[in-house]
Structure formats: structure tokens, C-alpha cells
Amino acid sequence: PYQPEVAQGTLQVIFEFQTIVSEILGLPVANASMYDASTGLAEAVLMARRLTRRQKVLMSGGVHPQYEETVATYLSEIDDGKPELSKVEVTDQLTTDLAALEAALDESVACVVIGYPSFYGTVTDFSALAAKAKAVGAMVVTLTLEPFALALLEPPGALGADIAVAEGQALGLPPQYGGPGVGLFACQNDRKALQQLPGRLVGETVDADGKPGYVLTLSTREQHIRRERATSNICTNSGLCATALTIKMCMLGKRGFVEVGEQCLAKAEYLKAAIAKLDGYAVATDAHTFNEIPLRVRGGDVHAVVAAVAKAGILAGVPARSPGSTTEDLLLVAVTEKHQKSDLDRLVAALDAV
């Protein structure tokens, strides 16, 4: 929308989208969306490096491994094939290892990247780590892959995150063979941070007659003006997906958003309890989880279990590696508001039949 006088509808929708994202992530400034959360996370890391003028990145093993690869790809191009990216594995309970991250923090670190919830579904209060990071001048970047978790959890901003990224696919977008998604991106309201924020930014103003209107704000950061000196090579936004998300969230409302989160949690806890009763199966953590459950399976062969359950017409989950393992020895099972009790009971029966 380069001509605000003829694009007020589009600009208002984006402004409403930004407001929703700001409230979900608990940070005062949100952009007009990223392509998805993986590219959003990479942009957040680059933004943190520009703001701190440091290069080293600490990443928790609780960040999705494919997202870690995306960040490494971005950094590899910038750091001549040797990205300054240090990974700190999760604990035996599959939670973010706060002590190890704190120990690795020093004045060379640009940012710490945390999964909230983690790739394994576990939830960790990182507020003490955020305070330690601030003390040494490092930033905290969080990644949330299931935004409905933030209907029940404290938002990242409230725990001390400087930049928060989330995937918005669950908020009104169909799976569609993996895409397109929409990346949610928010940060603190700091002038320097605003100048380094990637992507579009829509602001509210008034026209010559005093009527409210919407315009692109701080556009000199963007590629269509600054070219190679822009803060990011993203030169658009996921506008259609952002519009769908805005409509979905307006239909849900705050109460509906919370109710969906409560359904996800309650159904996941029901499934967790049911699977724990099966011989040979165990939940791989005692930590709090939201809607994803890491399981150890009967016989230990995760791929065999997934294949067997698939014959019953059920996609059981995603194989994953526990820290230190060379094979995929965990099964990550996700539960959403779409699942009925009968669906969960079918899965339990199918697992028990393996």
C-alpha cells in the first residue's frame, strides 16, 4: 500500500493485526508480519546483532531444529560460512537449561534465543535469565510455535523478552501442505529498536480535516527506499494471511482465545494421563507442557510405532531426538481444540495395539 489515500482499508487491517500481535506477545510494537516464524526468527537475531553490535548468538536446544537451521543459514552468509551460533542443549527433562545459558552469557553475546514453549512442548519461566542477559547487555529473543499457548501463559514481553516471534498459522490459516504461514514479530518500544525493525510498520494518524487515517511509518528502513542498506530484504508482508488471522481473532475475541487455549491444555492433559497408563509408554518429562507431549514408546522404535498407527488412519506425531541421542527416540504428539475425546481414545487404543 504505497498510496495511503487509496489503501485505507488495507492499512487499517494491518494496523489491527499489529495491535493483536502486540497484545498476544506482550510487547508494545509489532510489525505488519513476516513470511513465517522461521524467517522472522532469523530477522530477530540479525536485529539483535545490529542493536548490540555483537555477533555471538546463544540458542537453546528447545528451539525447533529446522528454525535453528534457518538462523544458521542466514548467519552463514553474513559470517563467511562460520556462523557465531552456540547451541545449549535442553535438560534431561526437555526444558530450557536456564543455568547453562546463564553460565554462557558474557559481554560478547548479542542475544539468547529461547523456545517458549520449547520444541518439546515444555514451558519454562525465563525471567531470571532475561534479567541476567540485560545485565551483560545481551537481548532475549523468544520463539512461540503455538500461539494459543499465550492465551494461558504470561506473554514473552512480561517475562523480559526484547523481541518475540511467533507462527500465526494456527490462528485462522489451513495447513495447506505446509504453507503459506504468517510470522508474528514484536519488540520493545525503543527508538533504536524501531529503526532496526524488519518489515512494514503501519501507524495511525489524522488527516488535514482531523479524521483518523493510517500510513506506512518509518518507511526509510525498508528495501524499496534504502535498497541494499535496508534493515531487511523482506519488501512486503504476508498481507492475505495477516488479514485472515485478524478476522479469526476478532471472531474469537479475548474470551474465545482463552477458551481455545484451555481446550488444548485440558485435552492434552487427558491424553497424557491415558497414555501414561499404557505398558511400555511414558511421558518423557515431568515439566509443565501445553498441547505437545514428548513420549517414549513401547519397544523404542518411534518410526515403527508411527507406521503402525498410520494403518489405523491416525498421524500419531513427529519423531524427535532427545538431547545426546543419535536417533529419533521420542514421539511428539500434539493436541488441539479440533480433537474430540473420541479422537484421543482412538489414538490411545492404536498405540496400545502396537
> pLDDT tens for residues 86-128?
999 999 999 999 999 999 999 999 999 999 999 999 999 999 9
Q: State which of 247, 264, 297 marks the end of a domain.
A: 247
Asked if pLDDT for residue 72 goes beyond 80, the answer is: yes
> 54 falls in which pLDDT band (50, 70, 90)?
very high
Q: Are residues 212 and 277 in the same domain?
A: no
Is 277 in the same domain as 225? Answer: no
pLDDT for 237 equals 76
Clarify whether residues 77 and 200 are in a common domain.
Answer: yes
pLDDT grade for 337, boundaries at 50, 70 and 90: very high
Average pLDDT, rounded, for the chain: 93
Cis (ω within 30 of 0) for the bond into 117? yes
- The cell for 257 is 482465545
Tens-digit pLDDT profile for residues 175-207: 888 778 999 999 999 989 998 999 889 999 988
**Model confidence at 222, in pLDDT bands (50, 70, 90)?**
low
Reported confidence tier of residue 226, pLDDT bands at 50, 70, 90: low
What percent of the chain has a predicted confidence (pLDDT) above 90?
A: 82
Domain CATH for 133:
3.40.640.10
Asked if residue 225 has pLDDT above 70, the reply is no
Share of the chain above pLDDT 70, in %: 95
C-alpha cell at 16: 489491527
Instruction: Say if residue 216 is in the same domain as residue 289.
Output: no
Edge-to-edge strand ranges of the sheet holding 183-187: 29-30, 183-187, 163-167, 139-144, 109-115, 56-60, 85-88
The model carries a pTM of 0.94
Count of the separate structural domains present in the chain: 2
**Residues 262-284 pLDDT 10s:** 999 999 999 999 999 999 999 99
State the pLDDT confidence band at 255, using cuts at 50, 70 and 90: very high
Same domain, 233 and 157: yes
- Same structural domain, 137 and 81: yes
**CATH number for the domain that contains residue 282:** 3.90.1150.10
Q: What is the pLDDT of residue 339?
A: 97
Helix (H) or strand (E) holding 103: helix 98-104
Distance CA 118, CA 284 (A): 14
**Residue 309: pLDDT over 70:** yes
Residues 224 and 341 in one domain: no
From 247, 267, 288, the end of a domain falls on: 247
The pLDDT value given to residue 16: 97
- Residues spanned by the domain of 159: 4-247
Q: Which of 200, 227, 247 is the last residue of a domain?
A: 247
Q: What is the band of 1 on the pLDDT scale with cuts at 50, 70, 90?
A: low
**Is pLDDT above 90 for 53?**
yes
Question: Distance between CA atoms of 299 and 21, rounded to whole angstroms?
Answer: 43
Residue 55 main-chain phi, psi, to 5 deg? -115, -30
Say if residue 152 is in the same domain as residue 276. no
pLDDT of residue 5: 72
Burial class (CB in 10 A: 0-12, 13-18, 19+), 89: middle
Do 243 and 261 reside in the same domain of the chain?
no
* Claim to verify: residue 72 and residue 169 sit in the same structural domain: yes
Q: Read off the pLDDT band of 220 (50, 70, 90).
A: low
Q: In terms of domains, do 55 and 136 share one?
A: yes
Q: In 202-316, which ranges are continuous DSSP H helix?
A: 223-226, 239-276, 302-310
What amino acid is encoded at 320 in this protein? A
231 and 260 together in one domain: no
Cβ(250)–Cβ(140) below 8 Å: no
Higher pLDDT, 327 or 91: 91
